[in-house]
Amino acid sequence: MLDAFAGRLTNQLLTRLPGPSITVKTDMPVVSFTFDDVPETALSAGAAILEAHGGRGTFYIAAGLLGRQEEQRKLISADGCAELAARGHELGCHTFSHKSLQHSGRAALRADLDRNGAALAAIVPGLRPRNFAFPYNAGAFRHRAELSRRFRSARGGMSGINRGVTDRSFLRSFGLQQPEASVAALQGKIDELVAAPGWLIFFGHDLAPRPTPYGCTAESFETLVAYARAKGCALLTVDQALDRFEAQP
Ligand SMILES: [Zn+2]
| Assessment of whether the complete model's pTM goes beyond 0.85 | yes
On whether residue 233 sits in a domain, the answer given is yes
**Mean pLDDT computed over 30-51:** 98
On whether residue 223 sits in a domain, the answer given is yes
Cα 100 to middle of ligand 1, angstroms: 9
Strand 30-37 and strand 199-204: pairing? parallel
Q: What is the pLDDT of residues 80-124, one digit of tens each?
A: 999 999 999 999 999 999 999 988 999 999 999 999 999 999 999
Cα 37 to middle of ligand 1, angstroms: 5
Cα 247 to middle of ligand 1, angstroms: 30
Cα 187 to middle of ligand 1, angstroms: 24
- Longest CA–CA span in the chain (Å) reads 49
On whether residue 236 sits in a domain, the answer given is yes
**Mean pLDDT computed over 35-46:** 97
Residue 90 belongs to domain with CATH number: 3.20.20.370
On whether residue 83 sits in a domain, the answer given is yes
Q: What is the pLDDT of residues 48-80, one digit of tens each?
A: 999 999 999 999 999 999 999 999 999 999 999
CA distance 194 to 30: 9
Q: What is the pLDDT of residues 159-213, one digit of tens each?
A: 999 999 999 999 999 999 999 999 999 999 999 999 999 999 999 999 999 999 9
End-to-end Cα separation, the chain, in angstroms: 45
pLDDT of 2 above 60: no
Cα 138 to middle of ligand 1, angstroms: 10
Question: Which candidate, 1, 70, 75, places its Cα nearest to that of 37?
Answer: 75
112 CB contacts (<8 Å, ≥6 apart)? 95, 96, 97, 99, 104
On whether residue 6 sits in a domain, the answer given is no
Q: Establish how many alpha carbons lie within 13 A of residue 8's alpha carbon, considering only the half-sphere containing its beta carbon.
A: 4
On whether residue 195 sits in a domain, the answer given is yes
φ, ψ (nearest 5 deg) of residue 185: -70, -15
On whether residue 4 sits in a domain, the answer given is no
Cα 182 to middle of ligand 1, angstroms: 20
Cα 164 to middle of ligand 1, angstroms: 27
Q: Establish how many alpha carbons lie within 13 A of residue 125's alpha carbon, considering only the half-sphere containing its beta carbon.
A: 0
On whether residue 2 sits in a domain, the answer given is no
How many domains, the chain?
1
CA distance 223 to 227: 6
Q: What is the pLDDT of residue 249?
A: 66
Q: Residue 243: give the domain boundaries.
A: 21-247
Cα 165 to middle of ligand 1, angstroms: 27
Q: Using omega within 30 degrees of 0 as the cis cutoff, is the peptide bond preceding 29 cis?
A: no
Cα 245 to middle of ligand 1, angstroms: 26
Q: What is the pLDDT of residues 44-53, one digit of tens each?
A: 999 999 999 9
